[in-house]
Amino acid sequence: MSQVSRRVNRKSTRTDVIRVLLVDDVESVRQTLRSILATYPNFEIVGEACNGEEALESVQLLKPSVVVMDINMPRLDGIKATTLIKRVYPHIVVVGLSVYANDDTRKAMTAAGATTVISKEAAVEQLRDEIIESVNRRSAAIH
C-alpha cells in the first residue's frame, strides 16, 4: 500500500472523531475534563490552554472541532476568546463552561458564538452529551 493511500485510509477511519481543545485556567479542571472525555472512544483531546490567548494560538495550531471554553480566565476571558475564534473559524463548536452559568453569562457566551454553556458542577454528567449535541446541530446546519 502506498504512503498516500495509507494516509487516506487513516484519515477516512477518523472522520467521526471529535477533536477537543480544553481551555480553563485551573489545571485540575482541565485534568478532570480530560479524564472524563478520554473514556469515550470518539473523543480525542488535542490540547489544553490556560487562558484565552493560549486558546487562540492552540486553535490555529491544533485545528480542533470543539473548544470547551471556561468563561472567567486571566489575560483574555472566554467570551472575548470565543468571539475571536468564531470570527476566524465559524465551523468550530464552542461549549462554554462556568462556575457561574447564569442567564447573563449564558447570553453573553452564546452571543459570542458558543452553542451552549454548562456549569462546571454539571460538566461530569453533561459535557459529553452537550458536545455531541452541539456537533450534530452544527453538522445539520451545514447540510
Q: Which domain holds residue 95?
A: 15-142
Q: What is the domain-level CATH number for residue 104?
A: 3.40.50.2300
- Report how far residue 81's alpha carbon sits from residue 38's, in angstroms, rounded to the nearest whole number: 25
Asked if residue 7 is part of any domain, the answer here is no
Phi then psi for residue 116, to 5 deg, are -160, 165
pLDDT tens-digit map of 75-103:
999 999 999 999 999 999 999 999 877 88
Residues in the chain: 143
Q: What is the pTM of this model?
A: 0.86
Asked if residue 3 is part of any domain, the answer here is no
CA–chain centroid gap for 61, Å, is 14
pLDDT tens-digit map of 4-61:
333 333 333 345 899 999 999 999 999 999 999 999 999 999 999 999 999 999 999 9
Q: Is the pLDDT of residue 121 over 50?
A: yes
The grid cell for 40 is 469515550
- Give the chain's end-to-end CA distance (angstroms, integer): 33
- Report how far residue 22's alpha carbon sits from residue 68's, in angstroms, rounded to the nearest whole number: 5
